[in-house]
């Protein structure tokens, strides 16, 4: 406990970004806590083995049989960021309350609590916003081949049926190609790796636990799977490209990065 407290002290070290951000001198208690990732609490008990079935906004009835996510880090913020700040700076202008900096590969089809490898740390201040960092290393590195999302399943609509699969990375394939030359740093690659402004309302306490719940249904909310090409003329399998095109691939990427798919909870111990 003494080591964890010493690590937290007055500044949180953004390990995934390789920088330090002060959490302020609020005088609040320094805390250490466990951290977990989990699928939605309303998942059927057999979703991990039989799949999760739902209908998305494009009319596809989807049964997800695999939905894995790599989470690089979690951060809680005392203040609500200024609108547009994420596009300019990947490190929040507000005051950080808590951090979990050791990543985890989690199964979003299981509502069971899946532990992060190391505890989190912070201060006993109220958090108004949260962030999920989808990175396999430094948040600002250009190349990152880490598989962030890995999905598979089957879908039907109006008599059409298919199987699908896909993986998603956030590396140079996600670099903004439409940057204004007058504002070269306006949309840095690191901002693609952060799910920002996840509403929350909790206060970390020593010995408690932070849970981030991930809802894979949000990943497919606007995905028209009919836009995907079969892997061969004879196959019913379609693959989601790890790029922005076709539109279905871009919608999947946007869904994984949408704040609607994430929720923070605090468990008192």
Render each residue's pLDDT in the chain as its tens digit; 269 residues. Answer: 333 333 333 445 554 554 444 444 455 799 999 999 999 999 998 888 899 999 999 999 999 999 999 999 999 998 776 555 444 567 665 578 999 999 999 999 999 999 999 999 999 999 999 999 999 988 888 889 999 999 999 999 999 999 999 999 998 888 766 555 555 555 788 899 999 999 999 999 999 999 999 999 999 999 999 999 999 999 999 999 999 899 999 999 999 999 999 999 999 97
| Tokens linked to 9 | 């002290």
- The Cα 36–Cα 71 span in angstroms is 11
81 close to 196: Cβ distance less than 8 angstroms? yes
pLDDT reported for residue 185: 53
| Tokens linked to 78 | 């005392």
pLDDT reported for residue 10: 42
51 close to 107: Cβ distance less than 8 angstroms? no
16 φ/ψ sector (left φ>0, alpha ψ -120 to 50, else beta): alpha
10 close to 95: Cβ distance less than 8 angstroms? no
Torsion of CA 202, 207, 212, 213, to 10 degrees: -100
| Tokens linked to 263 | 């929720």
pLDDT reported for residue 177: 61
pTM of the model: 0.87
68 close to 164: Cβ distance less than 8 angstroms? no
pLDDT reported for residue 179: 55
pLDDT reported for residue 92: 61
- The Cα 139–Cα 19 span in angstroms is 10
- The Cα 7–Cα 158 span in angstroms is 56
- The Cα 223–Cα 226 span in angstroms is 9
pLDDT reported for residue 217: 98
């Amino acid at each position: 406990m003494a080591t964890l407290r010493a690590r937290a002290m007055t500044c949180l070290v953004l390990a995934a970004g390789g920088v330090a951000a002060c959490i302020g001198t609020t005088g609040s208690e320094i805390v250490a806590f466990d951290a977990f990732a989990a699928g939605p609490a309303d998942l059927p008990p057999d979703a991990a083995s039989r799949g999760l079935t739902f209908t998305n906004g494009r009319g596809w009835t989807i049964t997800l049989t695999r939905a894995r996510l790599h989470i690089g880090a979690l951060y809680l913020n005392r203040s609500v960021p200024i609108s547009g700040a994420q596009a300019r700076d990947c490190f929040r202008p507000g005051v950080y309350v808590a951090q979990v900096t050791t990543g985890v590969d989690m199964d979003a089809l299981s509502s069971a609590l899946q532990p992060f490898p190391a505890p989190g740390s912070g201060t006993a201040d109220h958090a108004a916003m949260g962030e999920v960092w989808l990175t396999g290393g430094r948040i600002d590195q250009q190349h990152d081949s880490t598989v962030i999302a890995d999905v598979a399943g089957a879908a039907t609509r109006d008599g059409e049926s298919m199987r699908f699969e896909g993986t998603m990375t956030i590396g140079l394939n996600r670099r903004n190609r439409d940057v204004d030359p007058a504002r070269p740093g306006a949309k840095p690659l690191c901002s693609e790796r952060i799910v920002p402004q996840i509403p929350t309302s909790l206060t970390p306490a020593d010995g408690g636990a932070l849970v981030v719940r991930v809802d894979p249904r949000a990943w497919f909310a606007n995905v028209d799977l009919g836009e995907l090409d079969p892997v061969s003329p004879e196959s019913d399998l379609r693959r989601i490209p790890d790029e922005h095109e076709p539109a279905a691939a871009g919608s999947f990427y946007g869904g994984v990065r949408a704040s609607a798919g994430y929720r923070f909870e605090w468990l008192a111990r």
